[in-house]
Amino acid sequence: MSILEPPSFLFLHVNQRCNLRCQHCAFWKRNDSERANYLTRERKSEILREFAELSGDGGVVICGGESMLDLEDYFAISGECRRLGLRCMSVTNGTRIQNESDAQRLILSGPTEISVSLNSHRQDLHDRTRGVEGSFTKAVNALRLLVQARERNPAQNTKIYVMALIFDENYRELEAFYDFVLNDIKADKLKLNFLQPSFGWGEPVDQFFAEHGKVDAGLLVETLAHCNEKFALNLNPVWMAQVGMYFRSLHGLVDANRGWRTKSRTEEHICNTYHRNIMVDLWGMARLCFSPDFRGRQLVKYGDLRRFWDSAGSTRKKMMKCNQFCGISHSVRRESSTLTPNKPKRAYFVAEARR
């Protein structure tokens, strides 16, 4: 018998297409032609109920593509989460939140935490890296509408965040970026994701990862420390040190154009997705991270989610040795970017099954 904490997050996919053309992502090159084989809405609800039993105070992350391209599925998940008392989060590009009605529905019926992707406070940089002219205006408009809708419905207490990708063209401008997000838009937080191999698997060449990793690690950490003091961000110093380590690991990377296939790794192990996350893809395959490199389990019937979590010990051991660059992602990294009060740990005993 061993002690195992319940999972903290369930990542549930709804689609694999997008209406932008982001240079750091390959999902816009896909489509949902296999939709007939995806998990049904009813099966997703069953998985959510099982997750609520397994982790009553857990969080559910709605994943895409651009998940708001499928609004019925999107609101079905957020609605079920509300009914079950689960926290719900999503990251969207904002293109489907362009009027008061859109924003009002999200605040009243959508996720309890909504992040809108924004690569910069500069329109030109955001539009260029997101691949569609006008995407900056739509993202900022969505954020402003959400903030206004929350002001009209304060009892909802929805968190409204900006999710940024940090790379060589914007890391020197973080102070102005924070000021724009916190003081102009008045979002609750600017969440930082950092350059990593481009989202999505199977692309033969990763041009964006290869060309945009020239970040001065020392200057980046100094800039983060300065912003931390100026904006009272309560940043985690261990996380900041790991960010510096991460970009030092990228220096001199000779096969960055291979993206996920690069043989290089980070200097330190910075991920702990295997202790807190379950990712469920469109077809019902559950894994402990987004990578297909580690063994998963097909969720066929009620109880499979718990069985997968309880029996994944050997996979966890393998993952503890993984130093792939995706370890810096906000979804999987061990260290939170901010210091938060310690929460009491939940645990239960499990008989570890052989895999």
Give residue-wise pLDDT tens across range 98-135.
999 999 999 999 999 999 999 999 999 999 999 999 99
pLDDT at 205: 87
What is the dotted CATH code of the domain comprising 2-350? 3.20.20.70
pLDDT at 209: 94
Tokens representing 76 are 């079905």
pLDDT tens by residue, 10-23:
999 999 999 999 99
pLDDT tens by residue, 58-91:
999 999 999 999 999 999 999 999 999 999 999 9
pLDDT tens by residue, 137-189:
999 999 999 999 999 999 999 999 999 999 999 999 999 999 999 999 999 99
pLDDT tens by residue, 273-288:
999 999 999 999 999 9
**Residue tagged 């990593």 (tokens):** 196
Report the range out of 108-122, 187-201, 338-352 with the highest average pLDDT: 108-122
Stretch among 58-62, 257-261, 339-343 having the lowest mean pLDDT: 339-343
Distances (CA, A) of 311 to 34, 65, 301, 349: 29, 30, 16, 12
Q: 304: burial class by Cβ within 10 Å (0-12, 13-18, 19+)?
A: middle
**For residue 265, what is the DSSP state?**
-
Flag whether pLDDT at 302 surpasses 80.
Answer: yes
pLDDT at 355: 34
Cα gap 164→288, rounded to integer Å: 24
pLDDT tier at 347, thresholds 50, 70, 90 = low
pLDDT at 348: 53
What's the pTM value of the predicted model, to 2 decimals? Answer: 0.94
> H or E stretch including 165?
strand 159-166
pLDDT at 354: 36
